[in-house]
Structure 1
């Protein structure tokens, strides 16, 4: 096995701070045997209760949202708060609505994601019906995304085969090799002003998911130029999968019709406030969570025969994502993600207990970070830029948008 190569980042002098990564030696069968069998059992009624809880919360918050504008425009409220105070209160109420509904919608999306893995129920038809409805309502082509996401899980951290968050290489960015005679000024290639970096980061958080679905942004770079999730003949899909891709497209077309009809009936601004901005929050939370799962200076990527499934599964990190907010509303999707990569069909509500067994078994190969997630987002976006062109495996990943 070749020696690990740490990728130069915006501050190469910090490379010495990284510990050398040693790939794990165990088989997937050995790892699975370390986790009690009952934690793999899928309980459809229990999963359904989580979905019902989320839908009830969404309905209650939606009902409250409908009252925001009428309440702050009432004569008695205007008299009590003054017009300026009432307007400020109205927008503060909308911000609170977007925060809550965005988290609730993201939780519903996560349940659709679990359906895509078959973790919601042991019955495929239940998974597909629930997953198709929840994801379509949140602008995700369920079957199309399920196919590519399964490929991501099957090939995670493989430079040649992973589906998304595939690192750029030194040559991709046009950065020459460095040696004793040729010292690289990385700020010349990678340095940006904080304002521009913030702009790019916000753009990533809001648009990366639709950009991936539409244009394969951050996806496998060996795919043809116009690869996307809506073309039934795309390289992402096999001929046998063509019909379900079409079904996903029909669902998305139905959403276009429903949103257009809602705008005509209630007004576009109301639809944007009640539904559009919470959906943008879903896109943000989903991208932030997955980016931080798969992007960290100490997470490896493998080339060729050095990759195997369990090594790729361990190349992700659990994070304390906003404490109880993340655990309750987001169904532990960020807190216990490593176990999910090892065993995607394991129910999410068993993730905490199963992670304890996994961590005890694989030891130092289990990755966890309690760094505040927004701080980690800024740090990783700036620090993780590229990996070397050669080498069996690399410690470092990058921002790909």
Structure 2
């Protein structure tokens, strides 16, 4: 079996059609893969699936040590730059600029270090940290609880996300909005004024993007934001009787809640002892950056104009796994501090129990096998975030293979003609928009 089999029929690299007249026929076609998981698994050397507890513990120890060193260095910032000798040497203004620069450096690197610890908890949740389930759960529970993530509750929903990724009907998170969700008329030969629906100012768009980056994960845990729309109102990760969980998982959810309540108690007492401002400086802002990085990473993994979403029998596990995109996320910093979570995420969706330190080599084998079905972007990630947030607006209500459309109703890829049996999709091929 070779990796040249059944490559998607993309006639050119999918790019936004910039002509004044847009038709779906102009776009490159996409044909879903037909390989089985056993065929794909056979392309990956068996030894890359092996988990070494000792190696995971070394990475954990490295992250904890870095966090402790960064914390200690931060404790020296204010005393150092408020010394009389320093203020006289740098001038009071210069010393203040240096002090804030040092705090900014601490927040940046401690945020990355904390995110790396969160990734370790994520590895534990998948059982990729160790072949010993108890080791995974103890370390994962502690790491995630310290970073305000209900370990078992999120593990359960995240497992279902992996099991149903890119299924419009069953995926757990980053479920695309449809045309009808936004109240946009059905595609037809009539002109649609998309400006009426997406005519936001750049300032407002930036505000909404910042809101997503800082609050999206909390909103998902508490309100099921970006989750399945058919779930009941008030679906959340803290209710043991939520539709997200089975009766057998109830105690695990309660245990996760106990961890979060313990964190509440700990932060309240720390604030009473050392002061609210100290807790915010040393812990609060780095944790807020963890939320930002985690949301940014996962959003950019699963959202792109070139990535398909599937309905009905067109979805398979392997097609869903390929509906992700690897990104060059912060270069060496993303690789070192974030344990390659963003650089090699596609292979993680195929094999969630594979340890992160083997994903680079495994990705080379996977890419050779699945060819153009593998997606990678080296676009600077902050530009990618802005472009993706502005472009990926909605999918069609009907059709078994669908792609995002932008603020002007345009797509960059279309399903192969043999898949376009829905009249709405066919009608959209005649759509003209300026």
Preserved contact between residue 9 and residue 383 of structure 1 (Cα < 8 Å): no
How many residue pairs align between the two structures? Answer: 393
> Who is 1:208 aligned against?
216
Tell me which residue corresponds to 1:101.
Answer: 110
- Does the residue aligned with 2:313 lie in a helix, a strand or coil? helix
* In 2: Cα distance, 1:322 partner to 1:274 partner: 23
Q: CA deviation at 1:9?
A: 12
Matches of 2:50 and 2:273, distance apart in 1? 45
For residues 114 and 406 of structure 2, what CA distance do their matches in structure 1 show? 28
Q: Aligned pair in 2 of structure 1 residues 16, 57: CA closer, same or farther (>3 Å)?
A: farther
What residue number does 1:129 align with? 138
Name the TM-score, length of structure 2 as normaliser. Answer: 0.88
User: Does structure 2 conserve the Cα–Cα contact (< 8 Å) formed by 1:9 and 1:384?
Assistant: no
Aligned residue in 2 for 1:271: 279
Match of 1:23 in 2: 32
Question: Against the structure 1 CA distance between its residues 285 and 17, is the aligned structure 2 distance closer, same or farther, given a 3 Å change threshold?
Answer: farther
Question: Which ranges in structure 2 are unaligned for 5 or more consecutive residues?
Answer: 1-13, 408-434
* Of 143, 148, 153, the match for 2:157: 148
1:1-400 correspondence runs (5 A): 13=22, 18-180=27-189, 182-396=190-404
In structure 2, relative to structure 1, the CA distance for the partners of 1:50 and 1:390 (3 Å cut) is: same
Contact 1:167 1:397 survives alignment (8 Å): no
Aligned-pair distance for 1:73?
1.3
Q: What TM-score do you get using the length of structure 1 for normalisation? A: 0.95
Counterpart Cα distance in 1 of 2:26 and 2:403 = 12
Does the 8 A contact of 1:58 with 1:104 survive in 2? yes
Alpha-carbon distance in structure 2 between the residues aligned to 1:397 and 1:130: 41
CA RMSD of aligned residues (A): 2.0
- Secondary structure of the 1:211 match is helix
Q: CA deviation at 1:337?
A: 0.3
Report the structure number with the largest CA radius of gyration: 2
Answer whether contact 1:35 1:357 (CA < 8 A) is retained: yes
- Match of 1:276, SS state, is helix
Structure 2: how far apart are the matches of 1:389 and 1:9?
22
Find the counterpart in structure 2 of residue 3 from structure 1. Answer: none
Which runs of 5 or more residues in structure 1 are unaligned?
1-5
Q: 1-side partners of 2:283 and 2:165: how far apart?
A: 33
Cα distance, 1:396 vs structure 2: 1.9
Decide whether the 8 Å contact of 1:300 with 1:397 is kept in 2.
no
Q: CA deviation at 1:19?
A: 2.8
Q: 1:262 to 1:398 in 2, by over 3 A?
A: farther
Q: Is contact 1:299–1:397 with CA below 8 Å preserved after alignment? A: no
Distance 2:260 2:294 in 1: 19
Provide the secondary structure at the position in 2 that maps to 1:60.
Answer: helix
- After superposing on structure 2, the runs of 4+ consecutive aligned residues of structure 1 that deviate more than 6 Å are 8-12, 14-17
Distance in 1 separating the partners of 2:166 and 2:64: 35
Q: Distance in 2 between matches of 1:24 and 1:178?
A: 27
